[in-house]
Amino acid sequence: MSGDPLAALRAATRARVALGRAGDALPTADLLELRAAHAAARDAVHLPLDVDAVTAQARELGVEVLHATSLARDRAEYLTRPDLGRRLADDDLPAGAYDVVLVLADGLSPLALQTHGVPMLREVLARLDGWRVAPVVVATQARVALGDEITAAVGARSVVVLVGERPGMSSTDSLGIYFTFDARRGRRDSERNCLSNIRPPHGTGYAAAATTLVMLMAEARRLGLSGVALKADPALPANVEV
């Protein structure tokens, strides 16, 4: 048996628990690790997305890729003006008639999209038989609601936004997925379904997330809605947001 009774607890979580004390402060090693994690989280927010690399990787999946950006002119404006991150700078995207558009958005962690975006995209595309899928859109300085305007611009009914989530002290590369049925400008967050913490091996895996997402999409199309009224698991009570 370990001499440290909290060793099992520490091994079961990436959270910082039972760090100990050195006088009235943290032990030096833990304090330095905490500061390094804080710096990594800040770096993840400001790291620019390598649009060319993500585009090239997505095209290897055999899809057409378009580019879009929000009205936020740079990262500083994006962080201080969330409203601009929800508006398209130019809505002159090729339009068609599609069931869904998939958006790869940098969000608050471009690192997350750079790391997990295309692998997640691959799993989603593999499960979309019977869906008319628009060209993939890589969006920069993007908030989730930017997907609503992209949906209207390309002529789609629904949108799936793969977006970098706000970095935390133990997670700098967490990817989120937001699905909105009948997407259009002015949709509320309660009208979206969210799958979060996609970051194998420490979070949800790509295949599991894609399976849940496509099930939600199919139910949304059948019922004509998304958001808090749409359940991800029949065992859940009604109006549980995913």
Q: What is the three-class DSSP state of 118?
A: helix
User: What are the angstrom distances between the C-alpha of 222 and each of 4, 213, 216, 219, 230?
Assistant: 54, 14, 10, 5, 11
165 labelled as ligand-binding? yes
Nearest residue to 141 via CA among 59, 48, 2: 48
Question: What is the torsion angle, in degrees rounded to the nearest 10, for the CA atoms of residue 173, residue 158, residue 124 and residue 206?
Answer: 30
Quote the distance between the C-alpha of residue 159 and its chain's center: 13
214 labelled as ligand-binding? no
144 labelled as ligand-binding? yes
Q: What is the DSSP letter of 171?
A: -
Numbered residues of the known binding site for adenosylcob(III)alamin: 144, 165, 194
Numbered residues of the known binding site: 144, 165, 194
